[in-house]
Structures are given as structure tokens and as C-alpha cells.
Structure 1
Amino acid sequence: MTALDSRTPPEKKEAPLVAGSLWRAIWIMSWPLLITTVANSLVGITDVTMAGTLGSPHQAAVGLSEQIIFMFLLFIMATGTGTTALVSRYWGEGDRDKALGFAAQSLVLSVCLGATLAAVSFFASHYALGFFCESKQVENLGTTYLSLFSLYMIPFSVVCISNSAFRAIGDAKTPLFVVLTFTTISIAGDILTIKYGWPVPGLGLRGIAFSALTASSMACLLSIYKISRSELAPCLKMLIPAVPEMIKKVVKIGIPSAFQRMAWATSVFVLFYILARCPQPTEALASWSVGMRVEGLMFMPVMALSMAVSSIVGQNLGAREIERAYKAGWNVTWIGVGMLTFLAAILFAMAEPIAMAMCKDATTIGYVTSYLRINALSEPWLALGMILGGAFQGAGDTRTPMWITVTTNWIIRLPLAWYLAIEMKLGPQGAWWAMTSSVVIMGLLSAWRFRSRTWTRLHI
């Protein structure tokens, strides 16, 4: 491909995201991502369920440990946000050379981050857990689990960025295949190691960690193979030498996204701190872990729509289809609001049976039930905030979701959670109400900002 050809706008038949039916574009991106995100959530559900067969302390250890890991993973996911914004923008514009270049440099950056963060989290596992948990048993279990699970970040970085690049060019099916492979191996590994004691009896939480590491390693190899057989194949020849200017652009867009996720992740630690000071803290922490996993199944469809709209908005802004990008944001958002309203009604009605199916302890069951019912009330607002947040990120406007997250979590959620749970002595239910209140405000702020259209004028 010549330099001139590389800048030629793609034909309409090759660019379904920027031409033709907008609903078709939404469908093309959404259904594979829906299955992808549900599959990811099933891994988390299986992890915490298998841990629950070992006891509430094991469930609490898994929940707390994975929140710490998430704080490290957010840097990799932020790189993915920058990748999607830049690759989709230049792909929609028709500049394939730049799009491939950004995909390549994102892979380089992510691998370096993955290796560095794996090392840091391995050593941090021996010091961080005790600060957020007063139970020595939970701390010891979490340290063992986190030490092994930290290695997961290295292959995960490749999978994350590869999937971001595929989505950016409008290919949502390849990430689906990769994630289904990961899900199958991880869930099978959890069941075999915990329930059947294979290949080594008595692994406990280490079995869950080994399953995740094995699954992510296989998914990493599959991702590289899929890249080599796709339109992204030339990027594998562009990994060396590194291009600092391109890496800086990815980082510039990714940093606010990293801070956004960090604001959320660190607020979770503070929420853990609050729950640990409630009556029956172990049950409170375990209920949060279980509740988040179940609720995760609820917002997985919305997360899929958020990722779908990110690619659609990015490509359309690159193709100068501004009005189409704006309409895509609202169309996808109302789909998500409708879906989550329906699912929230089911969750509210089935909260207690779900809690009983996942927990053995009566107190934990009660806390999980209240968590699911209270948070079900805010699900439509969650859809509003998450999907429009994806549209902002696709446009390269990562600062808006960052400030909304900081405001709703640190200025609203945490002070209100402390006041209701501790000062008003409402216990975990007070924290659940604080979570719901902050989500409603997040949705309203996101809608207000999106309607301003200032994000359509951002140059990246």
C-alpha cells in the first residue's frame, strides 16, 4: 500500500460503522461484545462461587485481592482506551498506516506495563492487604492468592490491547473468540482444581489463580495468531523501533482513563475500609464481593454497548460524520437503559434466591439480598453513565468521564457511605444506598455533558 492509498477513505462496503444503517453498525459491534462481556463476568462469578465453597473468608480474600489487582490492571486498560480512540479515529479517516502504527506502539507499551506491574503487585501483595482488612485469616489467604494472580497481568496486557485494536477497526468477533477460549479454560480450571482436586489436591485459592494464569496465557498466544491473520498483521512488523511520539499520544489519552479507573478502584478500598468497621465485617465484605459479581452480570450488556459505541463514535469522527456519531451515542444509550431497566426488575424480584444459591452463611445471604435490591434501583442510570462514557472515550475525551467518576465516588459516594453505614449505624445497607445515589448522579452528569457536544470538537 502506498502512502497515498493508505490515506484513501475506505469504501462504504468496507466501513459499515461509518456508512449505511446506523442500527446495523450498532448490531455488528454489540452482539459479539455482549457475549464477550457476559463470558468475562462468568469467570468472576465462578471464581467467587468456587471460593465460597471454601468459606466466607476465602470469598472475602478473592474479592479484596482482585480489587488490588484491578488497580494495577487499570493502567493496561487505560492503554486500551487510548488504542481504541486513536486506531478507530485514523481507521475511520482512512489513514491505515497511522492506525496500524498506533496499534503496534500500544502493544509495546502494554507489554512493558504488564511486566512492570506484575512485579510491583507481587511484592505489594505482602503489604497492601493488611491495611484494608482486619481479619488475619482473610489477609493470609489474600496474600497467597494475590502473589500468584499478579503474573496474570503479563499475558492479559497483550489480550487487552489486541482486543482493543480489533474493536477499533470494527472487528468484534475476534475478541469474542479469544475471550470464549479464556473463559472455557478458566472456568474448567476452577472447577477441576477446587471441586475435584485435579491435578493436585488441596490447592485452594491457588487453584483459582493458576487457572486464570493458564487461561490468559493461552488467550495471549491466540491473540497474536489472530493478529497475524487479520488486517492488523502489518503492525507486528512495526513493533520495533519504538516511536515515542505515538506512545506519548496513547499515554496522553490513556492517563485520564487511568485516573478515572484509579478513582473508582481506590474508592472501593475505602468502601472496604468502611464495611470492615461494620458489625460482622467478614460477612459484610463477602457480601460485597458476591453482590458485585452478580451485579456484574447485569451491567455486562451495558459494558458491551459502551465498548461498541466507543468504536462507532471514534470511526465516525475520523470520517467527519459528526451527526452520525452523536446519534449513535443516544441510540446505543437508550438500548442500554431499556435492557437494564428490564434486568433490574428481575434482579430485584430474584435477589434472595440468587443470594441463597451463592452463599451458605445466613448473615451474608441477608446482606447480599439487600445489596442486589438497593442497587437494582440505580441500574438505568448506570447504563446512562457507562454508555455515554464509552462515547466520550471513543472521541478521545477521557477527561470528562474521569471528573465525573471522581466527583460521584469521592465527593458523594464515600462520605455518604460513612455517614449512613457508621454514623447512622445502618451497616452495609447504608453503604449500598450511598452507591445507588452516586450512580444516579453519574448518569445525570454524563447526559448533561454529552448533550453539550463539546466532545465532537476535540482534536487528538
Structure 2
Amino acid sequence: MQRNLLGRIRKGQPFSWGELLLLTWQLSVPAIMAKITTVMMQYIDASMVGMIGSAAAAAIGLVNSTTWLIGGVCFAMSMGYTIQLAHAIGAGEDVKARSLVRHGLWAVFAFSLAMGAGSALFSDDLPYFLGGTAEIAGDAATYLCIYALGLPFLAVNFAAGSMLQASGNMKVPSLLSVLMCLLDVLFNALLIFPCRTVEIEGWALWIPGGDMGVAGVALGSVLAEICCMAAMLYVLLKKSRQLHYRQEELLSWTSELREAVILGIPMVLEQVVMGGAYVAFTRIVSPLGTVALAANSFAITAESLCYMPGIGVSTAAQTLVGQSVGAKRSQLAQRFGYASAGLGMVVMLIMGIIMYACAPLMMAMLSADAAVIAAGTEILRIEAWAEPLFAAGIIVTSIFRGAGETRMPTILNLVAMWGIRIPLAIYLAVDYGLPGVWTAMCVELCARGLLSLGVLFYRGESLYQKKA
């Protein structure tokens, strides 16, 4: 059913609103389930870190914003190829699509290798720049260095998964994401803790361990990424009906790279804007103390459970809009945009209600420290009010990208993050501490969602005619 509906985009056949919503939901569900599973595994991951102590959690939380930044820049590079790929598939240009896959994977690998090596060189000094103390700086530097060296595997895995999703294959990337999370937990269990004996119903079970602490967290993630990357590449280059490797003459890699750069530069700037704001946000939280830093880190992990469904819908939106634009069906692309935005906001409204009600339980799953649980519960309940409009911001960004418009999200994020969130967080942190900082985040997310919806409706069908 799903493949038949997708095929109708290329064939120029009509869609009812019910069919639009059905196809959007069908493509969203695997991505949503994978994202939720991913976050649940991150919960387990974070709880393992919590067993080491709040200092370890604070060390990882200190550099999380930096890992998002360097990872996001590499992801932007791959999206320059993925957008072209969706358009090529929608237009029925299968040779061009396969050319984009092969050239794109090599380009992403080379770029992320250089990015990771450069980041590793600065890993020792960055924790102090971010405001970290000597107590946590060493672990933070180790975590960042291992992440940076593993960045090429992370970036290629993301690129291969995005390419499969652009072709309409949501199930395989979703299943492999779940597998990656399970492997991450397994590797972490073996690498973080020392060798130990556990009694289960009278049986003594010896479990090996590397006793690597925070370094084990980072290394476990990298090993899981490598395993998932190998499987993702196998499916993409061997099993995909449209995109698998063939002995054929490819198109010019220079024209593809040029277009990827044109599309990717605004997204790189967006990641710099967003990542830089996250780094600034961390610097605002750091002086508030170890408890505030740990609560902030755990609350970000907890909140991600709520916005992952929005990201799942946004993945489907980008694929459907991109293929519709490639097929030169601007009205259909516009209708897919509206359907996905509405669907995502409803889903995240429900998730926001759940987050508000279950905030204490969510934090208790991540930390045993009563002070961290109390602080995290308070800020999660502040953030819950922003979830529907947060969804609008996430999904509209993907709609723009699917249409080949990568500049507008950068402008919107620049205005929202640096014009609203950071100044307001600095102001509110003085008198209200961590709750004030998260209130600033809530206000910014609502403003960004409203701005995004306003621009989407203002641009109308012309947004989707850019590539026509």
C-alpha cells in the first residue's frame, strides 16, 4: 500500500486528503518508533553514566553541545546530497540518483574525517573554554576526542540512512537505528564498568568489563555506529532496488558537489548558529553548579523522548515534499507540507501532556540524586508548554529542505536562538537560575514555531516551484 501511494507521486496521480495523511503517517511511524527506541536506549545509557556519578554526567553534558555542533555540520553536508537525491527519484532519474549516492558517500566521509581530526586537536582545551572545572574537564576532553575520531563512521551512517529514507525506505534505517541503540547499551555495559559478578536467582554470573568510565561511553557509541554503518551501506549499495551499486557511467561529480555545497552551506551555517547557541547555552548553565549542569543534561535527554515523534514526521515530510518537487507537482508538495505540519503538532501536543505528567518519573529513571530529579522535573514541566509549536519549527524546517530552500531555516533559527533564547536566558539566569534559563528556551521555541508557520503560509505554492 505504501509503495503504491509513493509511486503515484511520480505517475502524476491525484491524492485525497485522507491519502495524504495516510502516506505521511505510514512513512512517519517507522521513523517515530526508531526515534523513541533510540531515546529509550539513551535513557539506559544515561542511567549507566549516572551510576558512575554526577560528575561524569556533568562532564558529558558539558561537551554535548559541541558534539551536536560538529556532528550537525557533517550532517548538513550529507543533506546537500540527500535533497538532490529525493528530487532525482521524484523525477524518475534513477542513474542520477545512483550517482548521487556514490559520490555523496565519499564526499561525506572525506569532509567528516577532516572535521573529526580538527575537533580532536582542540579537545583538551575546549572543556575549560566552556566553563568546566578541573574536576570534570579531563573526562569531558576524553569523551569529545573519542567522539571526534569516530565522526566519519557516524556521518557516513547518517548519510546512508538519509539516502534510503529519501527513496521512501523508512523501515530499514529505523530497524538499524534500534539495533545500533541495543549495541550501544551492550558495549557500554562491557566498557564502562569493571569486571563484576552478579547473582540472578542464586546463580553467580561473571560479567567482563573494561572499567573505562566516561571513555567507555564514547567508545561504546562509536563501536555501535561502525556496526550499524556497515549494515546500512550493505542495504543501500547491495539490496536497494533503485540505488544499489551497478557498473555504469556516472554523472559528473563536480556538478553534484557544487549543488550539494549550494544547498549545504546554509545548513552548515544553520548548524553553526544552532550549535554555537547550544554552546552559549551550556556556558550560561555551567556557573549554576554541578547539580544544575547534570539536571540540564538529563532533562535534555528526557525531553528528547517527546520531540522524537516530531522528528519522525519531519523525516517523512522531507521525503514526500522532495519527491513531489522532483516530479514537478508543486500543489501536491504544498499539501504534503500542510498535512505533515498538522500531524506533527497534534502528536507532540499529546507528548507534551505526557511529559508534564510523567516528568518526575522520567528524571528518576536517569538519576538517583534527589536534587537533580527535583530540578529536572521543574524545567521539564516548563518545556512541556512549548512542544506543539516546537513540532512546527522542526517540521517546517524539513519542508523547506525538501523543497530545496535551505536558507530560510537558517534565518529563522538565527533570529530565534540569538535574538530571543540566548539574551533572555542570560537575563533570567541571574534571578531565576536554571528554571529561568529553560523559560527562555520555552519562549524561543514557541516564537520559532509561530515564525516558521507564518513564513510557510506566506510563501504558499511558490516555495515548491523553486526546482520546477
- Cα deviation, residue 439, structure 1: 0.4
Please give the alpha-carbon distance, in whole angstroms, between the structure 2 residues aligned to 1:219 and 1:136.
35
**1:336-415, aligned counterparts within 5 Å?**
336-415=344-423
Q: Measured at CA, do residues 200 and 248 of structure 1 come closer, stay the same or move farther in structure 2, by a change above 3 Å?
A: same
Deviates most, 353-362 or 181-190: 353-362
Please give the alpha-carbon distance, in whole angstroms, between the structure 1 residues aligned to 2:235 and 2:78.
17
Q: Measured at CA, do residues 369 and 171 of structure 1 come closer, stay the same or move farther in structure 2, by a change above 3 Å?
A: same
Q: Secondary structure at the match of 1:397?
A: coil
Paired AA for residue 435 in structure 2: Q
Q: Which runs of 5+ in 2 are unaligned?
A: 196-206
Please give the alpha-carbon distance, in whole angstroms, between the structure 2 residues aligned to 1:274 and 1:96.
49
Deviates most, 305-314 or 73-82: 73-82
Paired AA for residue 265 in structure 1: G
Q: Give CA deviations for 1:221-252 in whole Å, capped at 9, x if unaligned.
A: 11121121112445575798971211111121
Q: Secondary structure at the match of 2:432?
A: coil
Please give the alpha-carbon distance, in whole angstroms, between the structure 1 residues aligned to 2:25 and 2:436.
39
Q: Secondary structure at the match of 1:53?
A: helix
> TM-score, normalised on structure 2?
0.90
- Cα deviation, residue 275, structure 1: 1.1
Please give the alpha-carbon distance, in whole angstroms, between the structure 2 residues aligned to 1:145 and 1:302.
29
Q: Measured at CA, do residues 13 and 372 of structure 1 come closer, stay the same or move farther in structure 2, by a change above 3 Å?
A: closer
Contact 2:325 2:467 in 1 (8 A): no
Q: Measured at CA, do residues 136 and 455 of structure 1 come closer, stay the same or move farther in structure 2, by a change above 3 Å?
A: same
- Cα deviation, residue 57, structure 1: 1.2
Find the counterpart in structure 1 of residue 7 from structure 2.
15
Find the counterpart in structure 1 of residue 262 from structure 2.
252
**1:128-207, aligned counterparts within 5 Å?**
128-194=126-192, 197=195, 199-207=208-216
Q: Measured at CA, do residues 419 and 151 of structure 1 come closer, stay the same or move farther in structure 2, by a change above 3 Å?
A: same
Q: Measured at CA, do residues 242 and 325 of structure 1 come closer, stay the same or move farther in structure 2, by a change above 3 Å?
A: closer
Find the counterpart in structure 1 of residue 233 from structure 2.
224
Please give the alpha-carbon distance, in whole angstroms, between the structure 2 residues aligned to 1:127 and 1:43.
30
Contact 2:31 2:174 in 1 (8 A): yes
Find the counterpart in structure 2 of residue 76 from structure 1.
74
Q: Secondary structure at the match of 2:334?
A: helix
Contact 2:70 2:115 in 1 (8 A): yes
Which of 266, 271, 286 matches 1:276?
286
Find the counterpart in structure 1 of residue 124 from structure 2.
126
Which of 426, 431, 444 matches 2:450?
444
Please give the alpha-carbon distance, in whole angstroms, between the structure 2 residues aligned to 1:416 and 1:240.
51
Contact 1:17 1:25 in 2 (8 A): no
Contact 1:118 1:150 in 2 (8 A): yes
Q: Secondary structure at the match of 2:52?
A: coil
- Cα deviation, residue 168, structure 1: 1.0
Paired AA for residue 76 in structure 2: A
- Cα deviation, residue 13, structure 1: 6.7
Find the counterpart in structure 1 of residue 204 from structure 2.
none
Q: Which runs of 5+ in 1 are unaligned?
A: 1-10
- Say whether residues 1:434 and 2:434 are aligned partners: no
- Cα deviation, residue 43, structure 1: 3.8
Contact 2:88 2:96 in 1 (8 A): yes
Find the counterpart in structure 2 of residue 7 from structure 1.
none
Find the counterpart in structure 1 of residue 98 from structure 2.
100
Please give the alpha-carbon distance, in whole angstroms, between the structure 1 residues aligned to 2:223 and 2:246.
24
Which of 73, 86, 89 matches 1:88?
86
- Cα deviation, residue 351, structure 1: 1.4
Find the counterpart in structure 2 of residue 116 from structure 1.
114
- Cα deviation, residue 195, structure 1: 5.1
Q: Secondary structure at the match of 1:427?
A: helix
Find the counterpart in structure 1 of residue 202 from structure 2.
none
Q: Secondary structure at the match of 2:150?
A: helix
Q: CA RMSD in A?
A: 2.1
Paired AA for residue 451 in structure 2: L
Contact 1:108 1:239 in 2 (8 A): no
Find the counterpart in structure 2 of residue 214 from structure 1.
223
Q: Measured at CA, do residues 13 and 356 of structure 1 come closer, stay the same or move farther in structure 2, by a change above 3 Å?
A: closer
Contact 1:105 1:242 in 2 (8 A): no
> TM-score, normalised on structure 1?
0.92
Q: Give CA deviations for 1:75-128 in whole Å, capped at 9, x if unaligned.
A: 221123222211111110111122222222211111101211221121121111
Paired AA for residue 438 in structure 2: W
Contact 2:68 2:275 in 1 (8 A): yes
Please give the alpha-carbon distance, in whole angstroms, between the structure 2 residues aligned to 1:260 and 1:238.
36
Q: Give CA deviations for 1:353-380 in whole Å, capped at 9, x if unaligned.
A: 3223322223222220111000001001
Contact 2:39 2:304 in 1 (8 A): yes
- Cα deviation, residue 12, structure 1: 6.2
**Alignment length, in residue pairs?**
446
Q: Measured at CA, do residues 320 and 133 of structure 1 come closer, stay the same or move farther in structure 2, by a change above 3 Å?
A: same
Paired AA for residue 465 in structure 2: R
Please give the alpha-carbon distance, in whole angstroms, between the structure 1 residues aligned to 2:90 and 2:212.
49
Contact 1:89 1:318 in 2 (8 A): yes
Contact 1:275 1:428 in 2 (8 A): yes
Q: Measured at CA, do residues 48 and 353 of structure 1 come closer, stay the same or move farther in structure 2, by a change above 3 Å?
A: same
Please give the alpha-carbon distance, in whole angstroms, between the structure 2 residues aligned to 1:87 and 1:240.
14
Find the counterpart in structure 2 of residue 44 from structure 1.
42
Find the counterpart in structure 2 of residue 3 from structure 1.
none
Contact 1:33 1:304 in 2 (8 A): yes
Please give the alpha-carbon distance, in whole angstroms, between the structure 2 residues aligned to 1:236 and 1:373.
52
**1:309-348, aligned counterparts within 5 Å?**
309-348=317-356
Q: Secondary structure at the match of 1:164?
A: helix
Paired AA for residue 448 in structure 1: G
Please give the alpha-carbon distance, in whole angstroms, between the structure 2 residues aligned to 1:160 and 1:124.
24
Find the counterpart in structure 2 of residue 302 from structure 1.
310
- Cα deviation, residue 270, structure 1: 0.8
Please give the alpha-carbon distance, in whole angstroms, between the structure 2 residues aligned to 1:343 and 1:54.
30
Q: Measured at CA, do residues 172 and 357 of structure 1 come closer, stay the same or move farther in structure 2, by a change above 3 Å?
A: closer
